[in-house]
Structure 1
Amino acid sequence: MAIPGYDASNVNDYTLESAGASVDVVAGVIPDEFGLAKSGREPPVDALADPVDLVALDDLKAVEAVRIALVYDPSRLPPGASPTDVAVAVETDDGWEPLESTVDLEKTTVTTVLNDRPPGSTVVAGYDDRDDANAEPTE
């Protein structure tokens, strides 16, 4: 799927079907090594899928847009959770950070579109319990 607002001929797409992950990139330099791989990292407790690594992410140059789409398992949502409380989360030095995301309930996918590289190279679909008004976890 193309990134909204970008000519499809300028978008490079990568898929890891076994993990239900895809990434689309618009960048000035995309190294041959760039792609997706199953991650060996431990997923967060609220993960709804297995983590995926964005390989050679730091070697992308002149990034205009990155679209990450992940399939998730809605049966792994906590009891009482809304099926729309799902986000793409990225592992940073401070832990897992949920990104602004869009959920497709029919396809059970969650997607984020960024105008730069994500702040980490490992991503996962996870339950997002932040309050939308202040983007802080609810208690």
Structure 2
Amino acid sequence: MAIPGYDSGNVAEFALERAGARAEVVAGVVPDEFGLERSGRDPTATALADAVEFVGLEELRAVDAFRIELVYDPSALPPGASPTDVGIAVETDDGWERLESTVDLEATTVSATLGGRPSGSTIVAIYDGTGES
């Protein structure tokens, strides 16, 4: 996993392998407390995996780039659903917001690259059937 356009020496990497989640961050300040853990929240009904929580997200400062990668379960897709309609959603105060996402069909992962910090700390791989990645 890499954030395009950034030297790997400037990227802080985090993984929660048992939940199939990875994050990469380019920021002026990445606190020691920052990381990933399984979320205790119930994910959206269209979730294809357990929700994951960013710990210490609010403490990140001067974020230039943020990349999230989640493993999804293709067997959880509805019958006839296209895996290209899988995306990452982040929980905000207004509900779940789908991020512009890219699907790797071979690795069964979905990723999103942001130009800053996500708008919420809970993320999940979802199927929404809109055809928008």
Structure 1 residues 72-131: Cα deviation after superposition (integer angstroms, max 9, x where no partner): 001111112111100010001111111000000000000000001111000000002235
Q: Is 1:41 the counterpart of 2:38 in the alignment?
A: no
**4+ residue stretches of structure 1 with deviation over 4 A?**
none
Give the gaps of 5 or more residues in structure 1.
Answer: none
User: Taking every aligned residue pair, what percent have the same amino acid on both sides?
Assistant: 66
Instruction: Determine the structure 2 residue equivalent to 1:83.
Output: 83
> For residues 119 and 62 of structure 1, do their structure 2 counterparts lie closer, same or farther at Cα, with a shift above 3 Å needed?
same
TM-score, normalised on structure 1? 0.93
Whole-Å separation in 2 of the counterparts to 1:3 and 1:29? 17
TM-score, normalised on structure 2? 0.97
The letter for the 1-side match of 2:22 is S
Instruction: Determine the structure 1 residue equivalent to 2:121.
Output: 121
The letter for the 2-side match of 1:92 is T
Instruction: Determine the structure 2 residue equivalent to 1:9.
Output: 9
Instruction: Determine the structure 2 residue equivalent to 1:27.
Output: 27
Whole-Å separation in 1 of the counterparts to 2:110 and 2:70? 5
Whole-Å separation in 1 of the counterparts to 2:114 and 2:128? 18
Structure 1 residues 12-44: Cα deviation after superposition (integer angstroms, max 9, x where no partner): 000000000000000000011000000000011
Kept after mapping to 1: 8 A contact 2:84/2:131? no
Give the gaps of 5 or more residues in structure 2.
Answer: none
Whole-Å separation in 2 of the counterparts to 1:51 and 1:21? 10
CA RMSD of aligned residues (A): 1.1
The letter for the 1-side match of 2:115 is N
Whole-Å separation in 2 of the counterparts to 1:41 and 1:68? 19
Instruction: Determine the structure 2 residue equivalent to 1:53.
Output: 53
Size of the alignment, in residue pairs? 133
Kept after mapping to 1: 8 A contact 2:47/2:127? yes
